[in-house]
Structure 1
Amino acid sequence: MLTQEQCDFYNKNGYIGVEAVLTAEEVSDLQRVTDEFVEKSREVTEHTDIFDLEPGHTAANPRVRRIKSPALYHTVYDQTLRHPKILDIVEQLIGSGVRYNGHKLNMKYPEFGSPVEWHQDWAFYPHTNDNLLAVGIVIDDMTVENGALMIIPGSHKGPTLDHHQDGAFIGAVTDPDFTPEGAVPIELKAGGITIHHVRALHGSAPNTSDKPRRLLLFQYCAVDAWPLKGIPDWDTFNDFIIRGEPTNQPRMVTAPVRMPEPYAELKGSIYEVQTLLDNPLYAKG
């Protein structure tokens, strides 16, 4: 559980890092299972429903930059998604009643590892209220050198910046006046967790170290937060509730929204759509 001081820090800054949430055994299980998935990726040569591949991926030298929806494919990931210690912390920050609305495992290989350009998760999936956050399970020690998650403190209380270029949504901030001034890294040991608010501006640089950086990301929201783009159907929507009961009364709050439409013609993960960005900050250093 978080202390009141930690909760206050999150509410003020829009993020927090928490050490030692998972045990050494739980971390070891995640590392082992992730290694097994990477081994399996040797069998594929292009993106699949499970693997998002780095440029240069080969059977001899596998490079996976994302495992998509990992909790669907292994119980270790699913158990972590539903980990009581994690859910207790989430409920402290968004209240009782939790739905998950996404999960992925982002990986940065030593001396490579694709960057993720600056963006707000809220730009991808605005809801009726902004009681949403992402939890990152740190599978390897996370440092500035290996591409730690970077956050701009307090940005969750600011505007929703434009993520469109030439009229199409490309999943990265395109405001010409934007600079990541004041950004801070979240550096943690394996077993810690990052938490960031859905409106917080964040990104991550390439991995320049000789160590991997793997971050298992779970997106959680309040049960009464409904996606503005609609739901698949009532039963499927409620299948994603992991604490609390369904409600057909979405809570509405005033929050700055830009809908992620129209989407760029290049579909796929954030990595692919961000390649369209004319002025990538990380490419410019």
Structure 2
Amino acid sequence: MTDVVAPSFASAHEDVLFDVPYCSAAPFHEFYGKGPPPRRLGRGCAWQSFEAARLVQERTGVKATLLFSGRHVAAVYPRADDLVVLDPYLLHREPVVLSRAAAVEGVVTAAGDAFPFRTGAGGEPRPSRLRLTWTVASGVLHSEYSRFSPRLGRYVTFRAFTFRPGATLPFFPPPRGLVRRLILHSEQNNVSIRCVDRGSGRLRELVLPLSGRPREWLVDRRSLITRDNQGAVGRGGTEEFRRDLAGICACVGSDPEELIGYVLGAAQLYAATAPEDLVVAEYRVEDE
């Protein structure tokens, strides 16, 4: 990207990546609780894309097309010669640019490094990866985000989305009733906050799994876990848990009790509103 708008794409994406962490607890507070949480405590995945799009428009006047795929949104910018993609939830380091000139049999492919940057058994770098494919004629965009699994010793697909050109959000914010339905979905098997440290680039998560316990036991401090940059689980009460939690608190300007209360509060709202017959996908408490 060499045009004058390019630095604004990059700066907006970076500002969201580091300053607006992904937080699945946030929508419960906003749509079932007392309102939007502080920006520093993050937003849901779609809201990260909304925020990146807002920053680009504020700085350049250029509006994004908000592509919608089920429960996820990407901010894209169709231009004469390329397509620019901002999707902070997928943790790519830089905006992804798909150039029409690079098409092979009508398909453009682009890939880039993403967080977390992990290490293999021998200390070799193993950055996460985001791979995008764009079928120019149909406009279909597919994203695939993969991480290196230290436990398995190989890369695994972590998330994948397909976006079709007609599936767009015409306005923001989306209808409140739609959002309330989408966040009470069987795929929602945890409430969490995930941050990337701007200085070190290390990723950490605080997670409360929602599967494997009766509804009346969901709000359980003892079930909290953390994950470090390598994807290793830290269980409540351990030194690893306290270390990871301290790192998250430093990223978001919080303290342990505020952050734990924030996640448990979201779980309480979930327990009070989710249908009793909702079958939640299993959340596996194991090292990645």
Q: Rg larger in 1 or in 2?
A: 2
The structure with more helix, counted as a fraction of residues: 2
Report which structure shows greater RCO (CA 8 Å, sep ≥6).
Answer: 1
The structure with more strand, counted as a fraction of residues: 2
TM-score by length of 2: 0.27
TM-score by length of 1: 0.27
